[in-house]
Every structure is written in C-alpha cells, then in structure tokens.
Amino acid sequence: MLDSPYQPGQRIRVTQQVPRLSGTGAISVDGVIVGFGQQKTGSWFAHSKDDRLWLDRLELRKDDGELVVVNLDRYSNVEVLADAQGA
C-alpha cells in the first residue's frame, strides 16, 4: 500500500484537466474518500510490475451516495476540503 496524503473520511475535490486540440477543459468531482491505492490495468504493453501499468486510484462517495473511482494522473489536482466528520 502507498503512503498517502489521502485518508478515508476526508472530503475532497478532484479536478482533472482534459487536454484538447481546441483548449483545455476541466472536470471536477467532490466527495468523501472511501479508499486510495494502486491498481493494475489490463495494459499488457506497459512492461512494469507484473507486465501491467499501475495507476493511483481514489474511490469517492459523492453526496448522493454514488461511488466514483478516479484515476490520478499529471492532470489531476486534489484539494482537501474538510473531514466528513467535521463538515
């Protein structure tokens, strides 16, 4: 398991930049962290551990109860808003 600045119960906003030919768009999601870790993809060409590409993933619970898994990359910005218990 990774050492992580992200802990279950933290309320966060993840904003990801989506590079496009006509500019850059941003997508944001707010939620409470359920879990954080690395998971491998099915990418057989990655040539890393277990011949798979490993991604940092945050699992969030949105206010409406929906669970969202966010793959973190260089275009991701994670902002800690507050602990869910303190919100």
Look up the pTM and report it. 0.73
- pLDDT of 34 reads 97
| Whether pLDDT at 1 is above 50 | no
- Which architecture characterizes domain 10-86 according to CATH? Roll (2.30)
Q: What is the pLDDT of residues 8-51, one digit of tens each?
A: 999 999 998 877 656 667 889 999 999 998 887 765 555 555 55
Per DSSP, the residues of the chain read ----S--TTEEEEEEEEEEETTEEEEEEEEEEEEEEEEEE-S-TTS-SGGGS-EEEEEEEE-TTS-EEEEEE-TTEEEEEEEEGGG-
